[in-house]
Amino acid sequence: MRKYWPAVLAVSVIASLPARSRAQDSTAAAAAAAVTVEAAVGTAVAERALTGAAESFPAGTATVFCFTKITGAAGTDIEHAWYKGDTEMARVPLSIKYSPHRTWSSKKMPTDAAGDWRCDVVQAGKVLQSVKFKVE
């Protein structure tokens, strides 16, 4: 039996690999599902909090901020993708260092800003949340 011991050990390790792989995949899926996002848009950020939150902004608003609180994504990156209608206007990469993490980006509104806008919170190509707003 002694001379067969390495073979028995190798077979048992190889047999357990798919089960370990599935367990890791389910752990990764559970971690991804545990990510929560709260996002809103406003006219400023003061003391790490959004101010001037609204769903509609008057023409002439100089800058709109997208403020995001994200939980369960420490050590990863997200992006704020700014759209006017279906046209991407800007994409801002943001590092998430801890959980929960508050971060924001801003978009200077062009002179022809009137219309429907949105800011998508994106992680690894997946939209976690979309905040829609209008410029009158």
Mean pLDDT by 10 residues, the chain (136 residues): 51 50 49 84 97 97 98 97 98 98 98 97 98 98
- pLDDT value of position 9: 45
CATH superfamily of 35-135: Macroglobulin (MG2) domain (2.60.40.1930)
Residue 33 has a pLDDT of: 61
95 Cα distance to chain centroid: 10
**How confident is the model at residue 4, as a pLDDT?**
55
Indicate the domain borders of the chain: 1-33, 35-135
pLDDT of residue 34: 87
> Can you read off the two tokens belonging to residue 20?
């370990």
Omega before residue 6 within 30° of 0, cis: no
pLDDT of residue 86: 97
Q: Which of 82, 37, 86 is nearest to 64 (CA)?
A: 82
> What pLDDT is stored for residue 18 in this prediction?
54
Question: Which helix H or strand E contains 68, and what residues bound it?
Answer: strand 63-71
Cα–Cα distance measured from residue 3 to residue 21, given in angstroms and rounded to the nearest whole number: 29
